[in-house]
Amino acid sequence: MKRRTLVAAGLGAGAALGGMGLGLWLERREGAEGIDDADLWNLRLPRPGGGEWSFADWRGHPLLLNFWATWCPPCVTEMPLLARFHRERRAAGWQVVGIAIDQEKAVLEFVEAHAIDFPIALGNSRGLALSQALGNSAGGLPFSVVFGVDGKPRARKLGALDEALLGQWGAALA
């Protein structure tokens, strides 16, 4: 049983690394250009199911930007925390936005199954480039960035969020 668990864990880690490598290869192949902090507010990304989101709509509010994927276990684990943070802080002007580094169909199914009520955008290779431009040099997921009302990044976190950190961020930018 122990060997089977180790093999499964190794295969899962290999799949995650392969997915990130594929994303980086596609980014270079498509010629995705780096995006700096100022360019974020002019960025438009597609919504799963059609349409697009404009980041300009969120400028002037505290913003928690979260890069995630349905195939990423820590990403999936933190989604209920993000949804609760969004519900609790929305009245104070906070906005949570998820940028999925994933296939549209998988994102749509996940959002519907988990009743995600904050905006989700499809990032693909552009999302990876944005994530890296915002400080995610490792290209890992999940990755979160908090912006103040002035549009400047205030905090970054590579890896899963927890309630204590979200509470600190919420209090610091209240």
Domains of the chain: 2-172 (3.40.30.10)
Which amino acid type is present at position 144? S
What is the C-alpha to C-alpha distance for residues 130 and 39, in angstroms, rounded to an integer?
Answer: 9
2-11, 46-55, 125-134, 152-161: least confident range: 2-11
Residues 6+ apart with CB under 8 A from 45: 52, 53, 55, 99, 121, 122, 123, 126, 127
Instruction: Please say if the pLDDT value at position 2 is more than 80.
Output: no
pTM (2 d.p.): 0.79
Kindly indicate the confidence band of residue 125, based on its pLDDT and cuts at 50, 70 and 90.
confident
Kindly indicate the confidence band of residue 142, based on its pLDDT and cuts at 50, 70 and 90.
very high
Condensed to tens digits (0 to 9), the pLDDT of residues 74-105 reads 999 999 999 999 999 999 999 999 999 999 99
> Token pair of 34, please?
């780096």
